[in-house]
Amino acid sequence: MPGRFAGLVAVVAGCARPPGMGHATALRLARGGAAVVCADAVGGPPPGAGDGWYDTGIVSADVLDGVTAEVAAAAATAGGGAVSFAADPYDQRSWEGAARLAMERFGRIDICCSLMGTTGPVAGDGHLGDLSLESWQRCLDVNLTAPLLLSRACAAAMVERGEGGVIVILSSYSAIVPPAGNGAIAAARAGVNTLTQVLGLELAPHGIRVNAVQPLSVRSDDPRFPNPGLLRLAEGEADSFSTWVRHQVPLGRPQRPDETAAAIEFLCSEESSFISGVALPVAGGSHTHA
């Protein structure tokens, strides 16, 4: 719906990271007329990282710059704008800087999409009995604490302005049906669901709605947005990714990043004006037989 976000300002965190849901969300908001702060954690592998290292919560500066340019081009055709913000991958408080940038550059915040997160060998992947404390803590830091910090920083700006607002937080279907080998992220995203409920209650008197989305099996064709954690999970539970999808998803296929973004766009819009405190499964019908 062109112009549905005209004059509004959105902060989209996780806009350049795999598997592409933040990228798709930022584009949708920009095409609707919003000015968008494209935020992500920028960095590289830590010293001593092996060949098998990955951390899907960290992106390169080039990818963030490319995504921001795409969002800016989309926003320009709809009367909005875009600016990038690089967070420190290992300092979760740095996410609060995205809210400050939005206020400095655009003067207000109407929409906060806290879509950051991570998986990886040192970010919670593996059986709980084998996880190092550092891996467990990184998973909680990025998947639970960072969304809280950004959401409440944006909420403070919304409350001060006194015109309401919208917050959408990334959860996961693993919070509903936690798989073996992914207990850390399942616990973190279950915490996001409770966080969403409580923030929704606390911010309702200010006209601020808070919701979450719970995707499953997101797979992008864009090489910038791989999903190695999903492939690891699928191959650990079935003989192939396609077999896993057929067994886990009633619709029988992976979901595109834009299918989650469409749900986020709806939750950010006036069409969802009486929805708050909800964690919405975007999982191809999987919740019907959980």
Residue 99 has pLDDT above 90, yes or no: yes
- What distance lies between CA 35 and its chain's CA centroid? 18
In terms of pLDDT, which residue wins out, 173 or 238? Answer: 173
Q: Are 60 and 14 in contact (CB under 8 A)?
A: no
| pLDDT recorded at residue 2 | 65
Residue 49 has pLDDT above 80, yes or no: no
Where does the pLDDT of residue 256 fall: very low under 50, low under 70, confident under 90, or very high at 90 and above?
very high
Residue 120 has pLDDT above 60, yes or no: yes
CA distance 115 to 24: 11
Where does the pLDDT of residue 1 fall: very low under 50, low under 70, confident under 90, or very high at 90 and above?
low
Q: 218-231 burial, b for 16+ CB within 10 Å, e for fewer?
A: bbbeeebbbbbbbe
As a whole-number percent, the residues of the chain with pLDDT over 70 amount to 98
Where does the pLDDT of residue 202 fall: very low under 50, low under 70, confident under 90, or very high at 90 and above?
very high
Where does the pLDDT of residue 287 fall: very low under 50, low under 70, confident under 90, or very high at 90 and above?
low
Q: At which residue do the structure tokens 């920028």 appear?
A: 42
Give the architecture-level CATH label for domain 9-289: 3-Layer(aba) Sandwich (3.40)
| pLDDT recorded at residue 59 | 96
The secondary structure element, H or E, covering residue 27 is helix 21-31
- pTM of the full predicted structure? 0.94
The total of other beta-carbon atoms located within 10 Å of residue 159's CB is 17
- CA nearest neighbour of 29 among 158, 151, 166: 166
Contacts of 272 (CB under 8 A, 6+ apart): 209, 211, 266
CA distance 16 to 30: 15
Residue 288 has pLDDT above 60, yes or no: no
Q: What average pLDDT does the segment 76-104 reach?
A: 96
| pLDDT recorded at residue 289 | 47
Residue 112 has pLDDT above 50, yes or no: yes
- Polymer length in residues for the chain: 290
Mean pLDDT of the chain: 93
Residue 47 has pLDDT above 90, yes or no: no
Where does the pLDDT of residue 290 fall: very low under 50, low under 70, confident under 90, or very high at 90 and above?
very low
Please, is 240 exposed, middle or buried when counting C-beta atoms within 10 Å of its C-beta (0-12, 13-18, 19+)? exposed
